[in-house]
Structure 1
Amino acid sequence: MPDLLRLATAGSVDDGKSTLVGRLLYDTKSVLADQMEAVERASARGGSAEPDLSLLVDGLRSEREQGITIDVAYRYFATPTRSFVLADTPGHVQYTRNTVTGASTASLAVLLVDARHGVVEQTRRHVAVMGLLRVPRLVLAVNKMDLVDFDENTYARIAKEFTGLTEALGYAEDAVVTIPVSARHGDNVVLRSGNTPWFEGPTLLDHLESVPVDGPDHDAPFRFPVQYVVRPRTEAHPDYRGYAGLVAAGTVRVGEEVEVLPEGQRTRVEGIDTFDGELEAAHVGQSVVLRLTDDLGIARGALLAAPGSPEPVSEFDATLAWLHEKPLRPGARLLLRHGTRTVQAIVGAVTHRLDTETLTLDEDPGELAINDMGQASLVVSEPLPLDPYDAIAATGSFLLVDPQAGDTLAAGLVGRPLVARPRETLDET
Structure 2
Amino acid sequence: MRIAIVDISPESRAALIGRLQLACTEAGLLSPEILEVNLNAPGDLPINPPVACFIGPGSYSRFGELIEEIRRITPDVPIALVLENEIYTSRGISLRKRFGVDVMPLGDIAQIAGFLLDCAERKKEAEGTLHSFVVGVAHLKGGVGATTLATSLAACWARNDFTAALVDFDDLSPEATLWSHAKPHHRDVTAEFLRRGEVSQERINELLVPVEGYDGKLVVVAQPLLYKEGFHFKADVLDNAPSASSFVTTLLDVLRKEIGIVVIDLARSWGVATFAALPLCDAVMLVTDDDGMSIRITLDTLERLRGESGDSGEFDFSKWNMVLNSYTGKLITPQVLAEEVDKLDIMPPEASLFTVPFSESGRQWGAPGKSFYDLAEPSVKEVIFKICSTLVPMEGKASEDQGALGKLVGKLKSFI
**Bin of the TM-score, shorter chain as denominator length:** 0.3 to 0.5
Q: Relative contact order, CA 8 A, sep 6+: which one is greater?
A: 2
Q: TM-score, normalised by structure 1?
A: 0.33
Q: TM-score, normalised by structure 2?
A: 0.34
Q: Which one has a larger percent helix, Structure 1 or Structure 2?
A: 2
